[in-house]
């Protein structure tokens, strides 16, 4: 298995532009997570899905952020409009939920720079 695949690896955009980050989870996994990593705030959970359904989006910073999971093999995180403070590494992770042993498999992340 290729693991969790994220694209793009790097994204540089200007303030006000729309940004879409993409994730392909590991085949067979039923949970998907979006995390944001910054020096100041560490790893923050933004949203997670179980069986393609959003379960908890309390970590989504504001309405400019949205996430979708149209099927078991694809998810997107969209920022519209983007702002410089959104600059961070965004990770997608997936897991096979088996009663509490939550082993997350992370992708390599998308480095987002908003100028």
Q: To 10 degrees, the CA torsion angle through 95, 40, 113, 109?
A: -20
56 binds other proteins (CB under 8 A): yes
- Whole-angstrom distance, CA of residue 96 vs CA of residue 75: 16
Residue placing its CB nearer to other proteins in the complex, 48 or 65:
48
**85 in helix, strand or coil?**
helix
- What is the per-residue binding string for other proteins in 62-81, x denoting contact by CB under 8 A? --------------------
Instruction: Find the binder of other proteins among 93, 113, 114, 115 (CB under 8 A).
Output: 93
Which of 50, 31, 35 is closest to 96 using CA atoms? 31
Instruction: Find the binder of other proteins among 66, 76, 108, 113 (CB under 8 A).
Output: 108
25 binds other proteins (CB under 8 A): no
Say if strands 110-114 and 10-13 run parallel, antiparallel, or are unpaired: parallel
Structure tokens at 91: 């990770």
Residue numbers at the binding site for other proteins (CB under 8 A) = 4, 31, 33, 42-43, 45, 48, 50, 56, 91, 93, 97, 100-109
């Amino acid at each position: 298995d290729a693991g969790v695949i994220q694209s793009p690896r790097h994204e540089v955009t200007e303030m006000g532009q729309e940004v879409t980050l993409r994730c392909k989870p590991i085949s067979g996994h039923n949970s998907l997570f979006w995390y944001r990593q910054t020096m100041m705030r560490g790893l923050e959970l933004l949203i997670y899905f179980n069986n393609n359904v959003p379960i908890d989006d309390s970590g989504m910073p504001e309405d400019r952020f949205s996430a979708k999971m149209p099927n078991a093999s694809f998810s997107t995180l969209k920022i519209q409009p983007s702002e410089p403070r959104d600059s961070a590494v965004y990770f997608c992770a997936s897991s096979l939920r088996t009663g509490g042993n939550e082993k997350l498999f992370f992708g390599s992340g998308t480095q987002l720079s908003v100028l």
